[in-house]
Structure 1
Amino acid sequence: MSEQDFELADRRSEEEREAQIAAASRALKIAGRVRCMDCDCSISLARIRAYPAATRCAECQTDFEQEQRCR
């Protein structure tokens, strides 16, 4: 592969990643949640990608699940 081929592949990879981020952001806005329902902090993009229906940030979700186990 030539240097130009590598550059093209890198550019395409970056474009795909940006498109995935934009799609996750749109899906989240459609779902109506971009902020944690408990602490009102932003829900991380990584969490949204992993679980698009998330209503809590990872920290608050962990706390919530621990509270549920103790009951």
Structure 2
Amino acid sequence: MADNADIATDIAERRLAHALASQRRPLPVATDPDCEECGQEIPKARREAAPWATTCIECQGIRERRCRHVR
């Protein structure tokens, strides 16, 4: 017969396994080398460092500043 501690441990282990499994999924890769905001080519170094990036560094900075003001 399982007590509350055993049940809690089972739940925690399942949640941890789920979290780890979701981290193993490959990150999406942006297929368009152009920034979706300004249309300029995203620099190769940025595409290599962040293959999922869809914006150039300048436009991403603008997006992040906008998000800070929305909150």
TM-score bucket (shorter structure)? 0.5 to 0.7
Matches within 5 A, 1:18-37: 31-37=30-36
Percent pairwise identity: 38
TM-score (norm 1): 0.55
Bigger Rg, structure 1 or 2: 2
Per-residue CA deviations over 1:21-68 (Å, capped at 9, x if unaligned) read: xxxxxxx6xx42100000000000111111001100000000000000
Unaligned runs of 5+ in 2: 1-28
Higher helix share: 1
Aligned residues: 42
Unaligned runs of 5+ in 1: 1-27
Matches of 2:32 and 2:64, distance apart in 1: 19
TM-score (norm 2): 0.55
Matches within 5 A, 1:56-67: 56-67=55-66
Moved over 2 A (4+): none
Query: Aligned residue for 1:55?
Result: 54
Matches of 1:60 and 1:49, distance apart in 2: 17
